[in-house]
Amino acid sequence: MEDAATPVSAQKQAASPRRAPSQQRSRERVERMLAAASALIAEQGSDAMRMGEVAERAGVSIGSLYQFFPDKRAIIWALAERYTAESQSCISAALAGISDAERLQSAFSELVDIYYRLFLAEPVIRDIWSGTQADKALRQLELADSRANAEFLSAVLKRLRPAADPATLETTAFLVWQMGEAAMRLAISVERQEGDRLVAAYKRMALRELLAE
Amino acid sequence: MEDAATPVSAQKQAASPRRAPSQQRSRERVERMLAAASALIAEQGSDAMRMGEVAERAGVSIGSLYQFFPDKRAIIWALAERYTAESQSCISAALAGISDAERLQSAFSELVDIYYRLFLAEPVIRDIWSGTQADKALRQLELADSRANAEFLSAVLKRLRPAADPATLETTAFLVWQMGEAAMRLAISVERQEGDRLVAAYKRMALRELLAE
DNA sequence: GCATAAACGTGATTAATCCTCACATTTGCA
DNA sequence: TGCAAATGTGAGGATTAATCACGTTTATGC
């Protein structure tokens, strides 16, 4: 886990390569950098987050920051990757082994609620996934994450409806999942009450689709 | 129309006010600025669009540009507003007067196809609505646009299902519409073939919801 | 025609930021 | 102990959005 979230993976993006922290000392510093970035994003949003501020709050120089993160987006990317890794294990656990409609219904409903509460409560997640569309690397991360989660869902669907075309089920699962993320983003951007209604409506819509013959 | 798209409306945003073009001369210049911006966005994306480049290509000074647009986002906003105004009239026309399920089905299906083709064909639209989430003013514009379009749709639904709770129908229409925009954004960001499948799946899902008892 | 105010036009300059780089320091290890 | 690699530093380069003081054009009243 500490390994997976290592910022070196941010190289996948585009910028010049950066060293991965190999010493204990620097690993701790990188943690401080991420923590500082997280705090600043929570306070002002990732757009207003200044690299100098991150460095200052982490107690490192701006140069050290750039030693481990090729650019500003890489920091955000690293935070996003942690969240996706964490949530993916939750989701796989919640959907594992389900093979009847009732359990799918309750598990899915609960999953949506958990996600919704998470989005409402965590300003950092909200900020990062709001800006997703603007950043190619983040978008790719979200797509990959979504595909992975949709796979758990389509696995359940295939068990529930063995006669149906598997490819169609996969498309359905992916779409339902993406619609869910969009519904969350929408729900948190409107009044709380309307958001609740929208999430409920999404649940109905998604379940109707998932449980349809 | 020329009036509605006037960049003075960009004042609604946040930046310092700017003069609205009142002379013929300046109105033509503003058109040139918007055209230049549109071309640059089509070529390189709005992020890479430089204000100096816009001015140069429009044949005006950077100062003139800022005389009519308080900031960079205002230009993009003005372009976005034109597109929304244009599409809204199309949508209202397509959905007007529908009061039976068959016609709703065919009209909705056609509308989705039109939108999808538009997104595929117009790089400017694609760019602007991709970056929507990152910009508050654009997000508001899209939300308002979506609400307006959803209203056309919910009007149809209310005629189709007079016994149903109107508030629920409104929420459904809004959600279906937003899901549609999200589906479009998703579809154009993946391989063409998968995009087609996703749009088709969205259509099925949306129509199932819209025509449900 | 003339005067005057308002609208318009200009581009060098300012300000804010991301990011680099030449050099100093610390750590792991033979 | 000594050296190579890793790590740390922060002044400064580079980019670019946005300003502003001043010059020019247009509309309008007489």
The residues, ordered by sequence, that sit 6+ positions from A165 with a Cβ below 8 Å of its Cβ are none
The Cα-based distances of B206 to A155, B23, B104, B143 in angstroms read: 23, 47, 11, 19
Task: Please report the pLDDT score of residue A47 as a whole number.
Answer: 92
Mean pLDDT across chain A, nearest whole number? 89
Note whether B67 and B51 are within 8 A (CB).
Answer: no
Closest CA to A95 of A108, A114, A79, A113: A108
Q: Across the interface, which of B189, B194, B212 has its CB nearest the CB of A208?
A: B212
Q: How far apart are CA B135 and CA B141, in angstroms?
A: 10
Task: Please report the pLDDT score of residue A27 as a whole number.
Answer: 84
Residues of chain A neighbouring B176 (CB-CB closer than 8 A)? 205
Residues in chain A: 213
Backbone angles phi, psi at B72, to 5 degrees: -60, -45
Residues of chain B neighbouring A204 (CB-CB closer than 8 A)? 209
Q: Give the nucleotide nearest to B64 (CA→C1').
A: C9
Q: How far apart are CA A1 and CA A7, in angstroms?
A: 12
Chain C nucleotides covered by protein, CB below 7 Å: 7-12, 17-22, 26-28
Measured CA B41 to C1' D26 distance, in angstroms: 33
The residues, ordered by sequence, that sit 6+ positions from B197 with a Cβ below 8 Å of its Cβ are A171
Q: How far apart are CA A123 and CA A79, in angstroms?
A: 13
Which CATH code for domain A22-69?
1.10.10.60
Q: From chain A, which residues contact B within 8 Å (Cβ)?
A: 47, 130-134, 139, 143, 168, 171-172, 174-176, 178-179, 182-183, 185-186, 189-190, 194, 197-198, 201-202, 204-205, 208-209, 212
Task: Please report the pLDDT score of residue A25 as a whole number.
Answer: 73
Q: How far A99 CA sits from the closest chain B CA (Å)?
A: 22
Q: Across the interface, which of B171, B172, B183 has its CB nearest the CB of A175?
A: B183
Give the predicted TM-score (pTM) of the model: 0.90
Q: Across the interface, which of A47, A134, A171 has its CB nearest the CB of B201?
A: A171
Rg (CA), chain B: 19
Measured CA B64 to C1' C12 distance, in angstroms: 15
Q: Across the interface, which of B168, B171, B179 has its CB nearest the CB of A179?
A: B179
Residues of chain B with pLDDT under 70: 1-17, 22, 213
Task: Please report the pLDDT score of residue B18 as a whole number.
Answer: 72
Are the Cβ atoms of A201 and B172 closer than 8 angstroms? Answer: yes
Measured CA B55 to C1' C8 distance, in angstroms: 15
Residue A129 clears pLDDT 60, i.e. is over it: yes
Measured CA A61 to C1' C16 distance, in angstroms: 19
Task: Please report the pLDDT score of residue A158 as a whole number.
Answer: 95
Residue A96 clears pLDDT 60, i.e. is over it: yes
Average pLDDT over residues A40-47: 94
Task: Please report the pLDDT score of residue B133 as a whole number.
Answer: 75
Residues of chain A neighbouring B132 (CB-CB closer than 8 A)? 133
Q: How far apart are CA A78 and CA A12, in angstroms?
A: 11
Closest CA to B32 of B71, B70, B11, B59: B59
Are the Cβ atoms of B175 and A198 closer than 8 angstroms? Answer: yes
Are the Cβ atoms of A47 and B131 closer than 8 angstroms? Answer: no
Q: How far B39 CA sits from the closest chain A CA (Å)?
A: 19
Average pLDDT over residues A76-92: 94
Task: Please report the pLDDT score of residue A7 as a whole number.
Answer: 37
Q: Give the nucleotide nearest to A15 (CA→C1').
A: C19
Are the Cβ atoms of A198 and B171 closer than 8 angstroms? Answer: yes
Contacts 24+ apart (CB under 8 A), B148-157: B148/B88, B149/B88, B149/B91, B149/B177, B150/B174, B150/B176, B150/B177, B150/B178, B152/B91, B152/B92, B152/B95, B152/B96, B153/B95, B153/B177, B153/B210, B155/B95, B156/B95, B156/B98, B156/B99, B156/B104, B157/B210
Measured CA A133 to C1' C12 distance, in angstroms: 37
Q: Give the nucleotide nearest to B58 (CA→C1').
A: C9
